[in-house]
Structure 1
């Protein structure tokens, strides 16, 4: 059996998503999402029913907490996209749009190739990481775990 890397990351907006202070972030979403989709190792990303992103979803019961989920072939390609592509320019500006997280805001975990996580599964992985720290269940870039052995 082969595995792929799933990820969830959340961020709490400083203002509602339609506020002018957040507009520059929103205006870059299509470009950054398209960049992800054409990046080496990209497999899938979460989108809501009404747009090309997931900003309309509120799994954390707070409309100012936005969620991003995706699946990648491995940790190296995801890391390359996050830190070595134009995504990093948006990432470096995050203080303009988002509150500083007080707990883990991103989780990684391995899934069977060809399967995609639900928002609820991803939320559970993030909550597990927040409560228990890095483990085989959920981890971060600081301590990437190997895929399960068959």
Structure 2
């Protein structure tokens, strides 16, 4: 997997407009969560958002066809990033500030059992996906289920398309390494 990076696109919809009191906990956690993710073992890079401070955007941000803009603010929580391994992403996702925010997600996000919250896929080292590709992979997962082009932690594949079981011990080790850096 040395010549590949794991891409991840996350998507959700808020239960209220981003600037509302209902989403305040998310807004307050967001800067620290992004910082923790960027400092996590195995983090490679993330897209920023057009017109905002931080990393540059990897193309024009678009949303999946399932997005309804029900809040009317034209915004939905989504991220696009690259990781060294599935285990590194899992460690950062379920531990630390992101893990805490994830556990509070039910307070901020619209429940949608038929819509995935994320999609994973492999890219060649040196390649950077854009938002349109990410949404395409997300929609592929939503329409076809996990496959080597669009998968999840639960049903993962390696870069050549073989089923892959994450190394839990490696994930825990990466989480410990990240915690020691904090």
* TM-score, scaled to structure 2: 0.75
1:139 lines up with 2:151 in the alignment: yes
Offset, 1:64 = 4.4
Equivalent residues of 1:5, 1:109 under 8 A apart: yes
In structure 2, the CA distance between the partners of 1:24 and 1:104, relative to structure 1 (3 Å rule), is: same
Indicate the RMSD between aligned Cα atoms, in angstroms. Answer: 1.9
Gaps of 5+ in 2: 162-182
1:98 lines up with 2:109 in the alignment: yes
Deviation per CA, 1:26-85: give whole Å up to 9, x if none. 11111100101110000111211332488xx55346324221111100100000001122
* CA distance in 2: counterparts of 1:58 and 1:71, whole angstroms: 18
- Specify the structure having the higher radius of gyration (Cα): 2
Equivalent residues of 1:15, 1:64 under 8 A apart: no
For 1:59, the equivalent position in structure 2 comes to 63
Equivalent residues of 1:58, 1:66 under 8 A apart: no
- Aligned residue pairs total 147
For 1:77-96, what aligned pairs fall within 5 Å after superposition? 77-96=88-107
For 1:1-150, what aligned pairs fall within 5 Å after superposition? 2-51=3-52, 52=54, 57=61, 59-60=63-64, 62=69, 63-102=74-113, 103-148=115-160
Gaps of 5+ in 1: none
